Chain A
Amino acid sequence: MSLNATLIAQLIVFLILVWFTMKFIWPPIVKTMDERAKRIAEGLEAADRARKELAEADTRAADEVKKARAEAAAIIERANQQGAQIVDKARADALLEAARQKAAAQADIENMAHRARSELRGQVATLAVQGAEKILGREVDAGAHKALLDELVAGI
């Protein structure tokens, strides 16, 4: 083992290599790795955020659906009620109309009966007078016996 000038040469070589590594090799690599670590951290954070947002959107959508369903149910309920109401009203209207028509018909009938009766009454008086003329063989003065005839007619 003998030390010689190689020691000095190697010292210089070593220092140059250290300088080069320190200047050109180490910093870019470490910088790249740090950058990547940062990017990965950001990516993970973004993923977390997205997941949270998705969950939020899900619950929001579920809420919306629930609300819509309730609304639809309310609308249907209301429609049913309305339908029932319409049917009820229609029925009431129909009944009313029927009653009205019935009443009208009855009035008509009564009218007609009344008219027929009064017609008949008139004819009865005439018939009675004609009958009495036949029986008496002479003309009955309708005017003279008007009171009697009226009584007769009223009696029918």
Chain B
Amino acid sequence: MAAEGPITSGAYILHHLTYLQLDLKTWKIVENSQNFWVLNIDSVFFSVVLGLLFVFLFWPVARRASSGVPKGWQNFVEVCTEFVDGQVKDAFHQKSKFVAPMALLIFFWVLFMNIMDLLPVDSLPTAAEAMGIGHLRILPSSDPNVTLSMSLTVFLLCFWYSFYCKGFKLVAKEALFHPFGKWLMPVNFVLKVVEELSKPLSLGLRLFGNMYAGEVIFILLAALTLRYSAPAHIAPITATAFFVFAALALVTVGLVAYGKGAWLRAWLPLLILPAVIAAGSIFGFLPAIGGGAYFQILFATGWGIFHWLIIGLQAYIFMVLTVAYLSMAAEHH
């Protein structure tokens, strides 16, 4: 919301979908550049921060791990590690030092990146605007550069791994004589290339597509209520309110996941708050924030709760498919 005065929905949405870009040739901040030598600072920044978050969550445990009675955070880390290890052992039958750690990293990194989607669409960009940064996309996994860089790495690893495990002869044989026999060698090869290229592309684009769609829906929900909402200078308050509510939703989901008995206690505030919000927006006795904000909170919370499913699922799928592709690369068919 850079411009003063009324904003159109289109401008609002476009604003939210614009990266903070740095032209690597001129070292200037650019907007919507189509050049290759441009860096999406926001994507890189947030993905690095979230990668460091993973490191700082797991590294202390790894350093101070004791084989005695585990407690607290170490328990959680070990449960996660065991979960990933189980997944990898199910799908991947070779001995490898990097597959399981990579799966762990992918799962949590992607998960953390996806969770960024739950932050209110206006919160961080508004804060950035206050610091003089015009555009900010906080969801790295809706940047195809991010997702494709991961899937490309996986693809290269697969490529190397298939040669490493099977040898050049077997790889060549599979590429040339499968599935149609030696008389259709070129067709076989083309098919193989398409098959292999489709893996990283689908892997990266699946995550990108899901998260992009989720993000756009959040932005649309915000835009939908925008015109009924308070003027731009109120936006930080809206954002804060939404942030509080999203945090509440987060806690709720955690509590529901934590124990069956806790679900009622967990849902109670969620049931009361929408009622207060609805009443507030209808009767106007909570006028300070602007009616639209309440609806945004309501809608975005609903979508956010559902979106948890996608967030977790996409992280899980990315991890499992990575392991599966590497396994396919290593094994004879």
A residues engaging B (CB < 8 A)?
1-11, 13-15, 17-18, 20-22, 24-33, 35-36, 39
User: Smallest distance from the beta carbon of A27 to chain B beta carbons, Å?
Assistant: 8
Closest chain B residue to A4, Cβ basis: B38
Residues of B within 8 A of A39 (CB): 67
- B249 proximal to A (CB < 8 A): no
A7 CA / B146 CA spacing, docked (Å) = 6
A33 CA / B55 CA spacing, docked (Å) = 19
Residues of A within 8 A of B311 (CB): none
Closest chain A residue to B55, Cβ basis: A20
Q: Is the CB of B150 within 8 A of A10?
A: yes
User: Smallest distance from the beta carbon of A4 to chain B beta carbons, Å?
Assistant: 4
Residues of B within 8 A of A10 (CB): 43-44, 47, 145-146, 149-150
A29 CA / B59 CA spacing, docked (Å) = 9
User: Smallest distance from the beta carbon of A32 to chain B beta carbons, Å?
Assistant: 4
27 contacts between A and B (CB under 8 A): A1-B144, A2-B34, A4-B21, A4-B39, A4-B145, A6-B39, A6-B43, A6-B146, A8-B149, A10-B145, A13-B51, A18-B101, A18-B105, A20-B55, A21-B105, A24-B59, A24-B63, A25-B55, A26-B62, A27-B62, A29-B61, A29-B77, A29-B81, A33-B67, A36-B67, A36-B68, A36-B70
A4 CA / B148 CA spacing, docked (Å) = 11
A contact face: mostly helix, strand, loop, or mixed? helix
Chain B 190-205: CB-based contact to A (< 8 A → 1; otherwise 0): 0000000000000000
Residues of A within 8 A of B70 (CB): 36
How many residues of chain B get a CB closer than 8 Å to chain A's CBs?
Answer: 50
Q: Is the CB of A15 within 8 A of B39?
A: no
A1 CA / B137 CA spacing, docked (Å) = 14
Known: A4-B40, A10-B149, A25-B62. A33 touches B81 (CB 8 A): yes
A9 CA / B62 CA spacing, docked (Å) = 27
User: Smallest distance from the beta carbon of A28 to chain B beta carbons, Å?
Assistant: 4
Q: Is the CB of A32 within 8 A of B67?
A: yes
Residues of B within 8 A of A25 (CB): 55, 58-59, 62, 101, 104
Residues of B within 8 A of A24 (CB): 59, 62-63
- B102 proximal to A (CB < 8 A): yes
User: Smallest distance from the beta carbon of A140 to chain B beta carbons, Å?
Assistant: 138
User: Smallest distance from the beta carbon of A128 to chain B beta carbons, Å?
Assistant: 130
- B35 proximal to A (CB < 8 A): yes
Since A17-B105, A30-B81 are in contact, a sample of 11 more A-B pairs with Cβ atoms closer than 8 Å, ordered by chain A residue number, is A5-B37, A6-B44, A7-B145, A7-B148, A13-B51, A29-B77, A30-B100, A32-B66, A33-B67, A35-B67, A36-B67
- B127 proximal to A (CB < 8 A): no
- B48 proximal to A (CB < 8 A): yes
Q: Which of the residues B33, B68, B81, B101 comes within 8 Å of A22, measured between beta carbons?
A: B101
Closest chain B residue to A35, Cβ basis: B67
Closest chain A residue to B65, Cβ basis: A32
Q: Which of the residues A5, A14, A21, A31 comes within 8 Å of B39, measured between beta carbons?
A: A5
Q: Which of the residues A11, A27, A35 comes within 8 Å of B149, measured between beta carbons?
A: A11
A10 CA / B151 CA spacing, docked (Å) = 11
Residues of B within 8 A of A7 (CB): 145, 148-149, 152
A20 CA / B44 CA spacing, docked (Å) = 18
- B240 proximal to A (CB < 8 A): no
Q: Is the CB of B44 within 8 A of A13?
A: yes
Residues of A within 8 A of B100 (CB): 26, 30
Known: A7-B149, A29-B81. A21 touches B104 (CB 8 A): yes
User: Smallest distance from the beta carbon of A34 to chain B beta carbons, Å?
Assistant: 8
Q: Is the CB of A13 within 8 A of B47?
A: yes
Closest chain A residue to B98, Cβ basis: A22
A33 CA / B242 CA spacing, docked (Å) = 41
Closest chain A residue to B40, Cβ basis: A6
Q: Is the CB of A17 within 8 A of B58?
A: no
- B109 proximal to A (CB < 8 A): yes
Residues of B within 8 A of A9 (CB): 39, 44, 149
Residues of A within 8 A of B71 (CB): none
